[in-house]
Amino acid sequence: MAVIVTVTPNAAIDKTLNVANFQLSQRHRCQRGESLPGGKGINVARALKRLGEPVVACGLAGGRTGELIVETLTHEGILNDFVRIADESRTTTVVVDPTIGTQTEIFEYGPEVEPAELAMLLEKLRYLAASAAMIVLAGSLPRRVDPDWYAHTVRDLRRRDVEVVVDSEGDPLRLAIASQPHLVAPNQHEAEEVVGHEFSSDADFAAALEEIADLGARNVLITHVGGLHALVREGSKTRRLRVEVEQVEAVSDVGSGDALLAGFLAGRLRKRSLEECLRQAVGCGTANARSVGAGRFDPRDATRYAAAARVTEYSGTPV
């Protein structure tokens, strides 16, 4: 089976701290935090590994933090092939307050990347494309990287007959959409930025799916709390669906959108029906919210949540 390749240009070590009754300007003590390699592409790779799918994680990694990213992924059994860069990879910190269910995120900007390092990454992706079913470009871009890098990479990889998925935000996402990727998967806030208005109803989501598809994306998933909305082309037919999932008390939302995307891609790789793919997607996202650490959910929980998901065509027909 062909593999899924995930690309994380701005890889990080993500540290999660559980701090009860967290307050600004106060001193707190907590148990030892959880540290894992992170960044959207790495989170997707870990979730795919949980689901038993063939995956290779790649991207940019530098300094001692970069070494730790590569060493830890290898220890987790996730195949990886990162380009080593001169500058130090970033660290992110998430403070979760379990008493009220909030989380505070602090993200470093990340390393400065040289053009030669980016060229090495693109060359690596061209090589990996020969055995890849999909390549997922995910997350933010480091400093000194032009916002059109994803767009340029999508155009390059499309010529190599590989499906390219983009999950980013802001200008990198907007420019990438115009390069006609196979799939984009923004969350609600990211999609609102693309189309320029907020969503308050199913009609708003439906209109946004059409707008983003008209901008260039072949398929669109828009995720939000409680499910997702999807526009998916199957041959000459275009299907528009919404998915609702059981609401759970979240332990941590970190990486839930990435787990959702992984669940959808895993289903597509296995050539399951669209309905099964969407159910598995929201099942993985929900299961991830019930665990600490992006992509470390129990697949049995994902299956249970997926079974309870409600999938409806925009015509109102349950499927």
DSSP 3-state of 227: strand
What is the predicted pLDDT for the residue at 316? 57
What is the predicted pLDDT for the residue at 97? 85
Which residue intervals of the chain are DSSP H helices?
40-50, 63-75, 115-128, 149-158, 170-178, 188-195, 202-215, 256-269, 274-289, 299-308
What is the predicted pLDDT for the residue at 91? 93
- Partners of residue 82 on adjacent β-strands: 59
H or E stretch including 92?
strand 90-97
CA 96/CA 24 separation, integer angstroms: 13
If phi over 0 gives left and psi between -120 and 50 gives alpha, with beta otherwise, what is residue 255? left
| pTM (2 d.p.) | 0.93
Which single residue is written with the structure tokens 């996402």? 173
CA 303/CA 50 separation, integer angstroms: 12
What is the predicted pLDDT for the residue at 63? 96
Which single residue is written with the structure tokens 């597509």? 268
**Mean pLDDT across the stretch 148-171?**
97
What is the predicted pLDDT for the residue at 94? 83
DSSP 3-state of 181: coil
Pick 226 or 192 by higher pLDDT.
192
pLDDT-derived band at 30 (thresholds 50, 70, 90) equals confident
What is the predicted pLDDT for the residue at 318? 57
Which residue intervals of 197-254 are DSSP H helices?
202-215
| Token pair belonging to 268 | 């597509």
- 306, 307, 312, 317: CA torsion to nearest 10: 170
Under 8 Å between Cβ of 50 and 308: no
DSSP 3-state of 31: coil
CA 146/CA 135 separation, integer angstroms: 20
Q: Looking at the domain covering 3-20+34-313, what would its CATH class be?
A: alpha beta
Domain residue extents for the chain: 3-20+34-313
H or E stretch including 310?
strand 310-313
| Token pair belonging to 129 | 């494309």
pLDDT-derived band at 317 (thresholds 50, 70, 90) equals low
What is the predicted pLDDT for the residue at 204? 95
**Mean pLDDT across the stretch 38-65?**
97
CA-closest candidate to residue 298, choices 285, 288, 313: 288
Under 8 Å between Cβ of 135 and 5: yes
